[in-house]
Structure 1
Amino acid sequence: MDWLLDPFAVSFVQRALWAGMLVSILCALVGTWVVLRGMAFLSDAVSHGMLPGVAIAYLMSANLLIGAALSAVVMIGGVAWVSRNSTLTEDTGIGLLFVGMLALGVVIVSRARSFAVDLTSFLFGDVLSATTADLVFLAVAAVVALVVSVVAYRPFVALVFDERKAQTFGFRPRLAHIVLLALVVLAVVASFRIVGTLLVFGLLVAPSATAYLFGRSIVPSMVLATLFGWSATAIGLVVSWNANTAAGATIAGLAVLQFFVVAGVKSSREALWGRASISNGSFGPSLR
């Protein structure tokens, strides 16, 4: 059992575990709405579209988080502009801005030879370098996401299930959508420096999508998504320690793997139940 417990005897792995758990809570609160609303592609674009802001902030010796947040806002504003001022769908606008912002970020990084945040750390972060201050910041972000989710619960529910009825009932769906986008920006910006944009997106979508397979209501789905995020974090750190792999990428990969395992088991179970029901005469046309 030493291989299982030894990693967590080290202080920086303990902090990494706490960081992953806090990110899991934050991403479960936001990711559940993202999955229900069908905003996964936009969330991915936002997470990668932060690179130009991070690069420019570094070159100007400014706060990287502010640069990331401004870049994310520009990304979202650009998508909205394309959708309103052309006949193109929102997905097309997202794809264009995704590639454009990421390309701009790579160009800036390639021109700045002294750039300290390389693309690998931007994508995967360094969860093993989490500090106490980082944990406090993530905890505050998680509390903010919780408060917003509670206060805006009914408008969010109306938005994700029937936007027209939300307008009829006076829930102001456009404002609710903007608030939801702000939560996505909060989750990505608060977490990317520690766990990287790829891990943020992995924990934002994969655990919530896995919880969605169980068909629970929203709050239980958030709890399940948190648990899936925690398990991916803990198992990922153990695997990373023993297999000498990148911690962030390992955690993100396991979060996605959980989805396919659960989906595969559920699909096999449903197939077996269907065959059993047919053999027992529960389904199918009557022979009389």
Structure 2
Amino acid sequence: MLIPLLLTFVLGLQESSGFGAGRWIGLGNYRQMASDDVFWRSLVNTLVFAGITVPASLALGLGLALLLNRPVRGRAAFRSLFYLPYVISGVVIGLTGDWMFNENIGVVNKILRVLGGDGVSWQSSPVPAFASVVAVIVWTHVGFCMVIYLAGLQGVPRERYEAASVDGAQGWQVLRHVTLPALRPTTFFLVVMMVITTFQVFDVVYVLTGGGPGNATQMLTTYAYSTGFGSRRQGYAAAIGVVMYLLVLAFTVVWWRAHKHQEAEA
């Protein structure tokens, strides 16, 4: 892993098509990013995408974990059902999303029309297209968050719940003062993992929307791919990859320090 990472940094300092030796241009690729509107649109899309999908996946995953942590009939089957999308190929997930959100033959639009509404332009309008990608990715990630939260819930000492019950705490009070504080390490892990995973999302977006319409769903990953293998500007694509790496690294460091500070105060 280290060698490709270092080679990516080196390639990001070159102008290269992938054929033959590259030409050293130093920070030229990074200077070009400053005036590249598509890069900035892709960066904003990626940040907004992460800002929506990560909290939504964690919240829904925690809700499912709380439900399935109880003695429910068929609990094992439900766990497997919710976790299944996370282990399926991203291309299959993208095709499934297209089957659901296709403007003409998609299941969602068919249901809307049966109910008397109009179909939504999932592929040709920016906001619906972005929403469809968010919905598919959240559906994919919820199962992983659920499994990790289940493991965290099963590690919470029963004595804490018994003490809270003696003090008269119920429902939301137990969740807020006992369960959520006990799950802080689990939440810290999940946030880091989900941010990294979200920044790496490629196949689902590529299959579902291709980054369109009009770069509305263009992510840093899809833009790096189209730049490196479509326009054959592999040096510039590598520089985009370096920016992605530094963003995720910076977030992880800041989040880790905030987590340590919270632990110290607690």
Fold shared by both chains (TM-score > 0.5): no
The structure showing larger relative contact order (alpha-carbon pairs under 8 Å, at least 6 residues apart) is: 2
Normalising by structure 1, what TM-score? Answer: 0.30
Normalising by structure 2, what TM-score? Answer: 0.32
